Structure 1
């Protein structure tokens, strides 16, 4: 019994580390989306979030995401990004969980839905901070970015998930 718990804790810890590594990597590589969608990011750490949601469930993914948000703010981001990361991350996670429960979405569809809600969450925080809902006028542009990033993340997860399952990295 204890051996299974230990293996699960190690796997979840590795997922936090992978997610954090992808987040930090994304801060140092050139971002091709910036030319088309100012302020957009690929959201590489969302690969881990979606893989974990599919394989470990909402509760464990919530823990992984929360730890990654806190650590990424400490290691690679200004403190002001914490609110944006929390809103975007949690909106995205809840949306992806709902999409998975509906069972009509492909992995790519779940990812796109999560990306859309991530941007909506961040725009809502921005509108609260500046006390002006006019910032929501950026939503159409952000939805375009969500489509691109959601497709990319969904494709990566579509091919990474069977590898995780084949190597029995999800049976905890």
Structure 2
């Protein structure tokens, strides 16, 4: 079964090459796709560890809505980037699809993030809150003193020093490559 799945994915990848070639380049294409798919995942993780009231139904709704918004944007962008018949000049100026297609991808990613957050909060508020034992030690507000002590005992001074060294190296690399 694994070989069949691999074969199918290879075929899909080969068929998708024209889409990538029609974009501004591989890097821009990958950034766009990542920008459409990552915001709901980040929203669920970030808000999930920050607020104990959020529940699974809200998280699932946020992931689904975010995915649908991202898939919609990909579906709108793909015919234009391929220059398909009728889309070589893009969508009619001023139309809804033209607006969606011409919004900068990072702004659209922010839109997906905000909508995902709102969806998660609204759905979680309208459904039952998770039981306290189920969220113990999963959010900042529900961490117990015992868990804090156990976490603190799991690292020492050298871990902090090594983390500082890694952060310093990342900063140096950033400064080097930004000129």
Q: After TM superposition, is the score higher than 0.5?
A: no
Q: Which has the higher helix share?
A: 1
TM-score (norm 1): 0.30
Higher RCO (Cα < 8 Å, 6 or more apart): 2
Larger Rg: 2
